[in-house]
Amino acid sequence: MTPTAGKTATLFTDTPLALDGGAVLSPVTVGYETYGTLNDAGNNAVLICHALTGDQYVASTHPITGKPGWWERLVGPGKLIDTDKYFVVCSNVLGSCLGTTGPWQDNPETGKPWGTSFPVITIRDMVRVQAGLVAHLGIDKLMMVIGGSMGGMQVQEWLTTYPERLHSAVMLATAPRHTAQNIAFHEVGRQAIMADPDWCDGRYYDHDVKPAKGLSVARMTAHITYLSEDALTAKFGRNLQNREEVTFGFEADFQVESYLRHQGSSFVDRFDANSYLYITRAMDYLDIAARHGGRLADAFKPAAHVRCCVISFTSDWLYPTVENKSIVHALNAAGVPVSFAEIESPFGHDAFLLDVPEMDHMLTGFVKAAARTNGLFFDDQETGDA
């Protein structure tokens, strides 16, 4: 995997990064992008946390795929997260493969890629690196931290670990821990990668190959969990792929097969298989309540001043409403002000990335109120109730 074409910071040079698993990393490089300008008061910074296979290119063209940013629908000049008003930061998470330290990078001690000798990381470790970047960029306090799915897990770790650096927090389609089913799907993905002979026990970088088949199958499996049965039926039904009849063979007869194969094969061009192992493991290890005697509310108590918003989607079976509501319940019990809605959407887990007008309405109101209450006033917004 190649380092990012974008911005890079080298952090934790003097003080190493102490990981939850006990290992230390020094230095840590971080690939990131920024949009807009940090104002003089320093009160307009928004950190966006990306999901499992996301990256820092939230509102600009991806350097490998050439596709638009993954949240350009919401982030940009004049958009819901308005880069004319806010200073938006998005960084590639620890363990990933677009400029941030991960298993693809050379171990400074050996001069060879880490591979599976890279230490296992957690969601909180990712957040520690983000906090380092935020400080490096001269931001004392974030007006908002926002993320969906694994991004929402990072937002929760921000609330538990650095609440004093937050004014508001938005969590979309997420969970405070991985369930057995969540872990099970991830394990299928990891086994697919490790079963590929080209994985070479994680040292495929040395052999000029990569476990494309295994990573592709991992992506295909995961992709199903991001959709819903209704969405798949509506999009593909039992439609055949460029043929009139089934072939009585194992080609991609059905459109849904062809679609998944494409999802899998295009993914391997932009993602590192070992990064996939490490990040899915970090998600599986997430159990915020466990660090607090099983009481999630206790984890959020230091965040009582942070304005929170949680949104779930009706057709999301990966991180269903009940998981999102457990966050809301805990925030409430901890005295953290929180708004919540379960928004109607047929799109499954991916809804937070897609065009869901009610989500936009709710987020628009929340972002503007967060800006007002953080001392930011703009000509085009109603004032007086902050």
Phi-psi sector, 10: left (phi>0), alpha (psi -120 to 50), beta: beta
Distances (CA, A) of 265 to 271, 294, 353: 11, 41, 21
Is there binding between residue 343 and another protein (CB under 8 A)?
Answer: yes
Distances (CA, A) of 232 to 11, 105, 339: 43, 37, 31
Name the nearest CA neighbour of 205 among 94, 92, 65, 111: 111
**C-beta closer to another protein: residue 223 or 325:** 325
**Segment contacting another protein by CB under 8 A, of 34-42, 45-53, 248-256, 331-339:** 331-339
The tokens for 230 are 């209704």
Is there binding between residue 268 and another protein (CB under 8 A)?
Answer: no
**C-beta closer to another protein: residue 124 or 368:** 368
**Interface pick for another protein out of 22, 66, 249, 384 (rule CB under 8 A):** 384
Q: Rounded to the nearest whole angstrom, what is the least distance from the CB of residue 77 to another protein in the complex? A: 22
**Interface pick for another protein out of 366, 376, 377, 378 (rule CB under 8 A):** 366
Contact 272, 193 (CB under 8 A): no
Is there binding between residue 314 and another protein (CB under 8 A)?
Answer: no
Is there binding between residue 35 and another protein (CB under 8 A)?
Answer: no
Residues in CB range of 242: below 8 A, 6 or more apart: none
**Interface pick for another protein out of 23, 38, 80, 386 (rule CB under 8 A):** 386
| Residues with a known catalytic role | 149, 316, 349
**Segment contacting another protein by CB under 8 A, of 27-35, 120-128, 172-180, 368-376:** 368-376
Is there binding between residue 338 and another protein (CB under 8 A)?
Answer: yes
**Segment contacting another protein by CB under 8 A, of 17-25, 60-68, 79-87, 342-350:** 342-350
**Segment contacting another protein by CB under 8 A, of 53-61, 144-152, 232-240, 338-346:** 338-346
Is there binding between residue 70 and another protein (CB under 8 A)?
Answer: no
**Interface pick for another protein out of 89, 288, 309, 353 (rule CB under 8 A):** 309
The tokens for 158 are 């921000």
Determine the size of the site formed for another protein (CB under 8 A).
27
Tell me the C-alpha distance between 230 and 27, whole Å. Answer: 46
Tell me the C-alpha distance between 169 and 143, whole Å. Answer: 8
Distances (CA, A) of 254 to 230, 233, 266: 17, 12, 19
Residue the block writes with tokens 């109101």: 365
Residue the block writes with tokens 């109120």: 369
287 is in an annotated binding site: no
**Interface pick for another protein out of 67, 365, 375, 378 (rule CB under 8 A):** 365
Contact 80, 359 (CB under 8 A): no
SS3 133: helix
Longest dimension (CA), the chain: 69
Across-strand partners of 11? 28
The tokens for 84 are 């004319």
SS3 364: helix
**C-beta closer to another protein: residue 19 or 333:** 333
350 is in an annotated binding site: yes
**Segment contacting another protein by CB under 8 A, of 73-81, 183-191, 193-201, 327-335:** 327-335
Is there binding between residue 361 and another protein (CB under 8 A)?
Answer: yes
Q: Rounded to the nearest whole angstrom, what is the least distance from the CB of residue 321 to another protein in the complex? A: 10
The one-character DSSP state at 48 is: E
Is there binding between residue 340 and another protein (CB under 8 A)?
Answer: yes
> Which residues carry a binding-site annotation for substrate?
219, 350
> Which residues carry a binding-site annotation?
219, 350
Q: Can you give the binding site for another protein, defined by CB under 8 A?
A: 307, 309, 328-329, 332-333, 337-344, 358, 361-362, 364-366, 368-369, 372-373, 384-386
